Amino acid sequence: MDFAERILQTDPPPLTSLMKRAARLRAEGRRVFQLGQAAVDYHPPATFLRSIVEVCQSKDLSLHGYAPDPGLPELRNALSDYIARSFRFEVDPERELIVTPGANHAAYTALSVLLGPEDEAILISPYYFNHLMTVTLMGARAKTVSASPNHGYTPRIDSILDAWTPRTRVLVLVNPSNPSGARYPDDWVRELGKAIVRDPHWSDVWLLSDQTYQEIFFDGGYPLSPGEFDDIRPRTVTLSSFSKSYALAGWRLGFMTAPSNFIDEALKIQDSSVICAAKAAQWALARTLGQEEDSRRYSDEKRALLARRRDALLDPLIKDRRLNVHMPGGACFAFVGLPGDIDADPFSWDLMERHGVVTVPGYHFGPEWKQFLRLSFGTGSENELNEASQRIVDFLTETT
C-alpha cells in the first residue's frame, strides 16, 4: 500500500467542491452570496496593520527569523493578560502557553499528544469537521454525542458521560460552537464540570476546550471557560485564535494553554512541524494586545456588527416559520433545519446554482444532520444577508 491506513481512512476537507463551484459562478459574473465559509470580512485592528508595516521598514532583520518554539516572550506575556481578561483564568506565560499558527494547529497538536490508535475522543454533534478529521488521522475513534436544536444545541450532560468508556482520552467542547452557533449556558458548563470530576474515568480523560469564538457572543458576558475551575484546569487544554475575533485568519495566529507537563509534550510537535508561528505576525499581535482599550473597543464593535448581521440573516427565516431556527448565542453561524423530508445536500447545491446562495449541507457536521444547513453570517452586509435569506425562502417555496 502506498499511503498510511489512517490517511486513507480520513475524509478530505468537505468544503472544497462547494467553494470551487461558488468561485466558478462568480467568475461567470453571477452574483454570489457567501454563507458557506467560516470567515469574516472586516479589517484587522489598526495597530496590527501598522506594526506589520513597521516590521517591513525595520532594519532589525531578526524580525524575519525564527521565534522561539513556544512563541515570542512579549506575545506570551500579552496573551496571559488577554486570557485573564477574556477567558478569566491565570496562566504562567512561560510554562503553560504556546503560540500556534491558528487554532487548528493547536487542536491538531493537542489531539496528537493525547490520542493513539483505538483511543476514543468524544465530539459533540453537530461537530467541527476538522476535529473529526484530526481524530481519524491519529488512528483514533470519534464517539459523537448529539445536541438537539430543541435544547439549543446543548447536549445532555448524562449523554456525554454515557459515551465515556475506558478508552476515552479526550472530550472536545467547542463553545461558542461551529457549526451550531450555540453558546452553552454558564450553568451548563458549571454542571458539566462538576459531573466530569465525579466520574471514575476522569483521571484518564482530558478536556479540549476550543474557544476560537470566545470573543464572539451575543448575550451576557464572556462564555464561561472550563479552565476557570481549579479542579478541571489540571486536565484542560484551552485553545483559541485571532482568525475571527481579529480577522487575522491568513496571518495564522492562535494559542494553546495547558498544564506545563502537557505543553512540554506539545512542543515536540510544534518543533517537528511548524517550529513557530510567523514571527512578524507574533510581534504585531503583541503590540495589538498591549493596546488594551483599543482591543476591547474593537471586539465590542465587531460583536455588535455580527449581531446585526445575524438578525438581518435570520429575520426572514424566522418570519417564514417553515425552518427550524435556533438563535445563535455566539460565533457566526446558524444551523437551520429544513421542513418536511427535504434533503439538504441537493437543496444546497440547487440553491447555489439557481439563486447564488452558498450554504453548507448539515451532513458534513454529522450524519444525523441531513436536513440541516449551516449558514455563516461572518461576511456580507446586512442588506446582502437579508437578500440571501429571502432567496432561501423563495427557493423553499419553489421546491415544496
Smallest separation, CB 144 to ligand PLP (Å) = 15
Cell numbers of 384, please?
A: 446582502
Give the type of residue at 156.
R
* 368 DSSP assignment: G
Q: Could you tell me which residues are beta bridge partners of residue 374?
A: 335, 360
Report whether 150 contacts 180 (CB < 8 A).
no
CB of 284 to ligand PLP, least distance (A): 16
For ligand PLP, the closer of residues 241 and 371 by Cβ is 241
Q: In sequence order, which residues have a C-beta less than 8 Å from that of residue 148 and are 6 or more positions away?
A: none
What is the SS3 assignment for 155? coil
From the CB of 128, what's the least distance to ligand PLP, in Å? Answer: 4
Q: Which is nearer to ligand PLP, 100 or 389 (CB)?
A: 100
Closer residue to ligand PLP, CB minimum distance, 70 or 102:
102
Q: What is the full DSSP assignment across 19-71?
A: HHHHHHHHHTT---EE-SSS---SPPPHHHHHHHHHHHH-S-GGGGSPPPTT-
Task: Read off the DSSP letter of residue 380.
Answer: S
DSSP state of 370: T
Q: Give CA angle at 240 (235, 244), nearest 5°.
A: 160
Q: What cell numbers appear for 23 in the block?
A: 468561485
Residue placing its CB nearer to ligand PLP in the complex, 174 or 256: 174
- Smallest distance from the beta carbon of 281 to ligand PLP, in angstroms? 12
Smallest separation, CB 241 to ligand PLP (Å): 3
Taking the least distance from each CB to ligand PLP, the nearer of 270 and 386 is 270
Q: Where along the sequence are the contacts to ligand PLP (CB under 6 A)?
A: 38, 102-104, 128, 174, 178, 210, 212, 241, 243, 249, 254
- Considering the complex, state which of residue 136 and residue 212 has its C-beta at the smaller distance from ligand PLP: 212
CB of 333 to ligand PLP, least distance (A): 8
Q: Which residue is nearest to ligand PLP (CB)?
A: 102
